[in-house]
Amino acid sequence: MVSDETPDRDEPPQGGWVGRRMPRVEDPYLLTGRGVFVDDIDLPGTLHLVFVRSNFAAASIEGIDVTEALLVPGVVAVLTADHIRDVIPIRGYLDRAEFTVTDMPILAAEVVRHVGEPIAAVLADSPYAAEDGAEAVDVTYGVTAAVADFEAALANGAAAVHEAAPNNVLVDITLDPSPDLDRVFEQAPHVVDVEVSTGRLAASPMEGRACLSYYDDRTQQVVLHSSTQVPHTVRTAVAASLGLGESRVRVISPDVGGGFGVKCVVAREEVLVAAASRLLGRPVKWIEDRREGLTAGFQSREQRYTLSGAFDELGALQALRADIMCDVGAYSCFPYSCGVEVLMAANELPGAYRVPMYRVRSRGVATNKPPIAPYRGVSRPQAVLAMERLMEKAAKAVGIGPIEIRDRNLVARSEFPYRNVNGALYDAGSYRESLARCAELVEYDSWPTKQADARSDGRLLGLGISSFCEPTAYGTDAFGARKMSIVPGYEQATIRMDPNGSVVMMVGTHSHGQGHATTYAQIVADRLGIDPSRISIRQGDTDLVPHGWGTFASRSVVAGGGALDSAANTLAEKLRQIAAHLLEAAPQDLVLADGRAQVKGSPSRSIAVEELARVAHHASNRLPKDLGRGLEATESFDPQGTYSNATHAAIVEIDPQTGGVTILRYVVVEDCGVMINPMIVDGQVTGGVAQGIGGALLEELVYSPEGQPLAGSFVDYLLPTATDLPIVEVHHFSTPTDRTPMGAKGMGEGGTIGAPAAVLNAVNNALVHLGVQLERVPIRPSDVIAVMELASADRGVVP
């Protein structure tokens, strides 16, 4: 089934709940300010924690004087590394020879490795007193040489961030599946080179990180409320650091104000808050402020790609050679390690294109900056940027258009399932179809005329395309291949029907804006034949839900939805058996629909699901013992991975005076298989594009050569506002996958993945007549002006 239609808003009930634009059940409480985020929880006797963080990128700690701080009214304690010697540092680990293990201290003891590294924690009766106390802590530093980017880190004689890695390379991966690659390059009619780089970003969810911990004597548990995407993973890491078994730690993640990946890893602060509460015997709360978020939180995206592509006469890519560098900062995050961007970049660079031969070296370079964590799309926005620049340049070299070169190289529908050069097996998609449709929507054929007309009016317009696929929902096989210390991937779900016929879903994923309470209920409602309003969710509490891996990597609808679907089927089967007994029919003759169990072909013989639930709980003596008691099912799902795809097109205008870029139009044609709730899909795409545009035009964590952050507020780190963004036109194809029961694919990151390439290609298209091109994002106005001046200097013309 291929359609370019989204279902109407008020589609009638027949045909099930999946596929409908249902309003979200989360909205009423969030719209009335009744959400519960971590800082909304006030416990009596809470101590407020403020960190003392390093002012220098590289230094030895010569002394920490807390005398004055302890005199500040309200300050109760100041903790340093000495107080938490028994707390084990965080270790993000890959079991592979190409990886150097480094530990991330909870509080720095002898040395600091980036500005913002936590050195001490001040605990006081109020956050105000704690801030006063933190100002009064006097740290004496012995400042040493810092390396602030990968050029500096790889230079001869560069200071080593870690003794264990004297050359500052923490991960160094080579994939070389094609021994004949060099010969192909020697004989190729066209060899095209590209070097692309991307700036460092902060995911910047509107709610920063936040923790509240206390000890529950009744259950003998350390309870940690944390604004996290991955409650069980936080439990694992905090338990390990505190030397406790996992069942002695309960992590509760209440409402989460956005995550985008920065909350899918475990932070030092989470461990320290739990440790401080244990040590002081009182609840301890830490609420990250925005400056901490930007300068001391996890960062991402700073990469450089050097590509060579060998193309035949017709523009078909024959072989791809790549050298990739990722600035991974000073430490390894848990559980993915600092290899997270490095490995994904190497594995997924070929993307949606047929790459018969491939060789890549991908390095993670340590610098004196905060560590990286996954951020929406991880390495894909950068890898797609590199490939899309390669395609643009190749089109020019071969003498064909941007649409033609992509169409020639995108995997065709007839080739699915497609095994790529790295062994990944793609499920079916609409790679070429989405390209063609997108080109049609932006009237690509008439673009040269439009552009020329605009140019004759003195306007610089550009149109840029990007085509890509989005691997989503890795399972345990894919994560296992990375050789992490723990292997995420599967998901579990429990579905319980209460005596009144209402259903509770308990699942290990954790929604932080994606609307799982709504979409999951749509899936389960179809299986149980009941109204979604009868179904509620429990999530984000390690004591309440089965062990699971949280929400990241576009996995929830696939892994969580898959587990829920399976559990709902098990429960539905039990309901049919109960109904069969009560109606004296065969279970296989019963269907669940409209809130009833009905005998097929005999509409008068039916029983309400509420009655089945009541009997199962309160009159189970009427049921055979071999049916078992209760109405609860737990199932798991371990996904094979699904591949969504899309083509984006951006039309931009450059202001020749300021170098500013305005996006005039933005079109997405995407395919994520069956959409559970098209309204939410459109919201994810649009929000994703906004973040991609932010990274393309506005956002960058700039550092000085000494490793000092120059963007410490939203005045310097520019998030897109409503006047910076276009209305994103979202169109759909729907190629159902056979890898999930619903035919749905993951799709949370695609918007962000495609946008930087579309925008950069559009800007370059606007500059094409000047013979200059940009190969870096974010595209700053000064970069645009600089290349335009370069062009006019070269040609003696005024642009």
Give the footprint of another protein on this chain (CB under 8 A).
23-24, 26-37, 39-40, 42, 73, 128, 204-208, 255-258, 260, 287, 289-290, 512-515, 679-680, 682-683, 686-691, 713-715, 719-725, 727-728, 751
Nearer to another protein, 262 or 391 (CB): 262
Q: How far is the CB of 133 from another protein (least distance, A)?
A: 15
Give whole-number Cα distances, 1 to 5, 550, 671, 743, in Å: 11, 31, 11, 11
Report which DSSP code applies to 484.
B
Nearer to another protein, 353 or 717 (CB): 717
Q: Distance (Å, rounded) from C-alpha 132 to C-alpha 376?
A: 36
Nearer to another protein, 208 or 659 (CB): 208
Q: Is the Cβ–Cβ distance between 526 and 15 less than 8 Å?
A: no
Nearer to another protein, 529 or 550 (CB): 550
146, two tokens:
């810092």
- Separation of CA 302 from chain center: 16
Nearer to another protein, 246 or 729 (CB): 729
Instruction: Look at the alpha carbons of 415, 420, 425, 428 in this order and tell me if their dihedral is positive or negative.
Output: negative
206, two tokens:
């509107």
Nearer to another protein, 256 or 267 (CB): 256
Nearer to another protein, 300 or 347 (CB): 300
**Beta pairing class for 602-608 and 221-226:** unpaired
Nearer to another protein, 481 or 664 (CB): 664
Which residues face 372 on adjacent strands? 299
Q: How far is the CB of 629 from another protein (least distance, A)?
A: 35
Q: How far is the CB of 757 from another protein (least distance, A)?
A: 18
Torsion of CA 569, 571, 577, 582, to 10 degrees: -130
3-state secondary structure of 467: strand
Q: How far is the CB of 260 from another protein (least distance, A)?
A: 7
Q: Find the helix or strand (DSSP H, E) in which 244 lies.
A: none
Q: How far is the CB of 510 from another protein (least distance, A)?
A: 12
Peptide bond into 335 cis (omega under 30): yes
Q: Distance (Å, rounded) from C-alpha 311 to C-alpha 572?
A: 55
Q: How far is the CB of 754 from another protein (least distance, A)?
A: 13
Nearer to another protein, 84 or 650 (CB): 650
Q: How far is the CB of 512 from another protein (least distance, A)?
A: 6
Q: How far is the CB of 796 from another protein (least distance, A)?
A: 41
Q: How far is the CB of 254 from another protein (least distance, A)?
A: 11
Which residues face 709 on adjacent strands? 703
Q: Which residue in the block uniquely carries the two structure tokens 């259903």?
A: 503
35, two tokens:
């959400």
Q: How far is the CB of 351 from another protein (least distance, A)?
A: 23
Nearer to another protein, 23 or 417 (CB): 23
Q: Is the Cβ–Cβ distance between 311 and 189 less than 8 Å?
A: yes
Q: What is the largest CA-CA distance in the chain?
A: 94
Nearer to another protein, 131 or 589 (CB): 131
Q: Distance (Å, rounded) from C-alpha 226 to C-alpha 207?
A: 12
Q: How far is the CB of 46 from another protein (least distance, A)?
A: 10
- Separation of CA 645 from chain center: 16
Helices 609-618 + 561-583 axis angle, to 10: 80
Q: Which residue in the block uniquely carries the two structure tokens 């890695």?
A: 165
The string of DSSP codes covering 495-510 is EEE-TTS-EEEEES--
Q: Distance (Å, rounded) from C-alpha 271 to C-alpha 416?
A: 45
